[in-house]
Each structure stands twice: as structure tokens, then as C-alpha cells.
Structure 1
Amino acid sequence: MSGEPQWWVMFDSWFPGENPIVGCILEDGSYIEGRQASFNVSSDDSPDRDLVLVEPLKYRAPGAAEMHAFPWGAACISARRIVTMFVSYPPTPEEEAEAAATQGSAPAAS
């Protein structure tokens, strides 16, 4: 990737101006998910950078099976604690229209 920090690629290069849903598996096995609000745009992929997620926040404790709503408005996560990060962007209007058309053309169940 042309030397860009990978967080910049994930959060801005592919879909500029969007605030995706981000899920992070942390080093203790817990998981946190929320809408990306801010991230350190440093040119270094440093473990000292931070990621800010805002509501709706969801959290799964280490070893737990279920996610729970997290009753706070924002969370700041250190890159040092993130093992894996998932990023999901909302579908484009074209993708939504295509999905609706596909669902409408499905064969009827007998």
C-alpha cells in the first residue's frame, strides 16, 4: 500500500468521509465495537496511537459469549491492546438497490 499507515487506509482511503463501524478484539480476549469517531493520523503505524469509538458501543468480556450494549458515549482504545480490527462501511445506495432487486427476484417458496 503506497506507504500509507494502515489505519488511514482502512478509515479514509477506501471510503473518505464515512465513519464506519469498527470492532476490535483486544489482547485480553474481549471485544469492543462502535462507530469510528477519531483515530491518530500519524504517519507511523505505532502501538502508541489511539482509536476513539462512539455509540452505539457494544462489549463482550473475555471468555463471554454474548455482546452487551456499553452504557457510555465513547471509548478510547490503545492500538497497543488491539489484536485484530474489523471495519464495516454502510452499503452504498447502489448496493442497497441491487440487494433489494435481488431479494425481489428470488423464487417464491412452495
Structure 2
Amino acid sequence: TVNPLQYAQQQRKRKLLWSKTNDKTSTSKVGAAITDGQDEKTAEKFRKLLGMKTSGNTNNDLTETNAINQQQQNTFDSLDKEYQTARITTHLRRGVGLGFLSQGSFIPSSSDKN
């Protein structure tokens, strides 16, 4: 049988374990300040601590980003072509190779040996 007191205590522990916390922490305040842009000084300090570049070089960053995106797209295209080639090869070349008979091969039967 189940002890109702132990079961109730277990339910309370589960509720505490899986419930969401509503209190705001200092890290969430800093993150909100950076994402919301309310405190520019704090955001700039945080960017500097993380080693992020300032927003002054946006044009140069944009060209670098476009070049990286183009390189990634070319890589993905070449990988896709290689995948399609390998897929077609494996499906069309099934039954070809060592251990398989060619299309024109003839297997002599025991009656043909005479």
C-alpha cells in the first residue's frame, strides 16, 4: 500500500523541482540591459569584456559576412553534388564487383561438362 504522507511529500518535491522560478537574477538583468539597449555604457563594457568588436566597422563586417556566407554556400553545394553522385553510384552499381556475375556470364551446368 502507498503511504499518503510520503506520497504527498514526494509530490511537493516534484513540484519544487519542476516549477519555474520567477525571481530575476543579476545575470538576467545584465542580459536584458544589453539586448534591450537601455544602458549603452553597460552594453559597451560587456562587449569589451567578451572581446566583441564595436559597431563602427559595420560595412567591413558586412562584406566579410557576405564572403563567408558565399563560401559556405559553395561548400554546401559541392557536398550536395558529391552526395547525389555517390547515391546514384551506389544505386546503379548494385550487383557489380567481386563476388557478382557480370550480365553476360554463363554458368556451366553439370550436363555441359560432358
TM over 0.5: no
TM-score, with length taken from structure 2: 0.24
In our comparison, the structure showing a higher alpha carbon Rg is 2
Give the structure with the larger helix fraction.
Answer: 2
Q: Which has the higher contact order (CA 8 A, sep 6+)?
A: 1
TM-score, with length taken from structure 1: 0.24
